Amino acid sequence: MNFSKDTIVIKSLTNTLKTNKLSHAYLVIGEDSLYCDEFILSFVKAIFCLENKNNEFFSCEECKNCHSINHSNYIDFYRLTSESSIKKEEIQMLKSDLSVKSFYGKKIYWIKDIEKMTEQAANSLLKFLEEPEDDIIAILSCKNISAVLPTIISRCQQIKLVGQSENTEIEKNEELIHVVNEYVRRYINKPHLANIYLLEKLKTKDDIVDLFKHLSIKINNSYTENNLHDALNISRVQEKVLLAVTDLNSNVNATLVLEKFLFTVLLENNNLEFLIRG
Ligand SMILES: [Zn+2]
């Protein structure tokens, strides 16, 4: 997994590893579950890896500790996950497992999706977090921090991840191409309805930024193979895309930028068919 979008977080954790100042509890917040899980496993492996002699954010993936962690059978690493809800009994069971002395000096437990904890479970965990033991590290992870008790948040060092797994990016890209194709198809028949369709599909700033990135690439690729008439039409659309990108960069509200783009395209009756070619 490529963690390049979270280099700041990695630098800070590297520093922690090098100075041996690990916190008692981490709260990892990341929207992409797969990416978040991989990140946590890499962190845990960096702590236990036998070849990580320089204490970097590194794991060799070859030593017996790395192997055991990858196969979910490392003796000092506990994970708690649940499809539905995490109950108090599960937290109590975890506590009793953790009361056994560690083999190699440290024990780590990871509770995934802590939004799923029942209130009783959260309270039970809270007591545990309040009395940290030197050799135990808690890693809690969630997608949505607003669903986590403030008392739990305040006892953890927060790690906010922004990266995404490659699969998610590919899926997002495919979804965007589909949406653009659908928009152009509708635009040819009923332009007003096409605008409404796109505005409903692209709601977040990220979606809208991605759309204009996609359009810029598409436009650049369209120039070469077209005649003069097409080129004129394409350059008119390109002007609007560039204007939208400038507005987005100066933090104009993304939905307004998209609306403006769509309605000026409509007003000038630009031909958009080149966007769905190839
Ligand atoms: Zn290793």
In angstroms, rounded to a whole number, what is the distance separating the alpha carbons of residues 136 and 123?
Answer: 19
Q: Give the pLDDT score at 57.
A: 95
CA of 76 to the centre of ligand 1 (A): 15
Beta-carbon neighbour count of residue 119 at 10 Å? 9
pLDDT at 172: 85
**Domain range annotation of the chain:** 4-160, 168-276
Locate tokens 């505005």: which residue? 199
Which residues have CB under 8 Å from 150's CB, separation 6+?
A: none
Identify whether the C-beta of residue 9 lies closer than 8 Å to the C-beta of residue 161: yes
d(CA 201, CA 183): 10
Determine the Cα–Cα distance for residues 111 and 137; give it in Å rounded to an integer. Answer: 11
pLDDT attached to residue 170: 84
pLDDT value at residue 18: 96
Neighbour count for residue 259 (Cβ, 10 Å): 14
The pLDDT assigned to 278 comes to 65
**Global model pTM greater than 0.85:** no
Residue 227 is predicted with a pLDDT of 67
pLDDT the model gives residue 169: 80
H-helix or E-strand spanning residue 41 = helix 33-48
Place of tokens 């506590």: 95
Q: How far is the CA of 83 from the centre of ligand 1 (A)?
A: 30
Q: CATH for 4-160?
A: 3.40.50.300
Torsion on CA atoms 116, 37, 158, 11, rounded to nearest 10: 180
Instruction: Provide the pLDDT for residue 254.
Output: 96
The sheet with strand 107-111 has its strands ordered as 77-80, 107-111, 136-142, 25-29, 157-160
Distance 107 CA to ligand 1 centre (A): 17
- Which stretches of the chain score pLDDT less than 70? 224-229, 278
**pLDDT score, position 225:** 59
CA of 155 to the centre of ligand 1 (A): 30
H/E stretch holding 113 reads none
CA distance 28 to 152: 12
What is the spatial distance between Cα 66 and Cα 75, in angstroms, rounded to a whole number? 12
Residue 69 CA to ligand 1 centre (angstroms): 9
Quote the pLDDT of residue 222.
83
Span from the CA of 235 to the centroid of ligand 1 (angstroms)? 54
Residue 132 · residue 25 · CB < 8 Å: yes
The SS3 of residue 80 is strand
- In the reported structure, the alpha carbon of residue 47 is separated from the centroid of ligand 1 by a whole-number distance in angstroms of 9
